[in-house]
Amino acid sequence: MIYKKLLLAEGQQQIYARIEDDGKCYLTCTEDHPEFKEWVEAGNTPLPAEE
């Protein structure tokens, strides 16, 4: 499981897609999401957004 930044319009709150091992996204979140914060605190970095 990884998180990936989503490309957004300028000024919008950054959101992230959680990509599961099957390659699908079942959840998007803000940086306030507790599980996302735990993942980042564990030393992980979200993948950049695709242009």
Partner 1 sequence: MTLAISGTTGITLATQFDSASTFGFKNRIINGAMVIDQRNAGAIVTVNTVAAFYANDRFRLSGVASAGVFTGQQSTTAPANFVNSLKITTTTSATPASSDSYYIVQPIEGYNIADLGWGTANAKTVTLSFQVYSSLTGTFGGSMSNSAVNRSYPFTYSISVANTWTTISVTIAGDTSGTWLTDNGVGIRVYFGLGVGSTLSGTAGAWAGAQYISATSATSVISTSGATFYITGVQLEKGSTATTFDYRPYGTELALCQRYYYRTNGTANLPRLAAGFSVSTTVADFVFSLPVTMRTIPSALEQSGTATDYNLVYGGTNANCSSVPTIGTSNVGTVAFSYTVAAVMTLGQGVIARQNTNGYLGWSAEL
The answer to whether residue 13 forms part of the interface with partner 1 (CB under 8 A) is yes
Which CB, 9 or 45, lies closer to partner 1?
A: 9
Which CB, 26 or 51, lies closer to partner 1?
A: 26
The answer to whether residue 17 forms part of the interface with partner 1 (CB under 8 A) is yes
The answer to whether residue 51 forms part of the interface with partner 1 (CB under 8 A) is no
CA distance 22 to 34: 22
Neighbours of 34 (CB within 10 A): 8
| Alpha-carbon distances, residue 12 vs 15, 22, 30 (angstroms) | 9, 29, 11
Which CB, 36 or 46, lies closer to partner 1?
A: 36
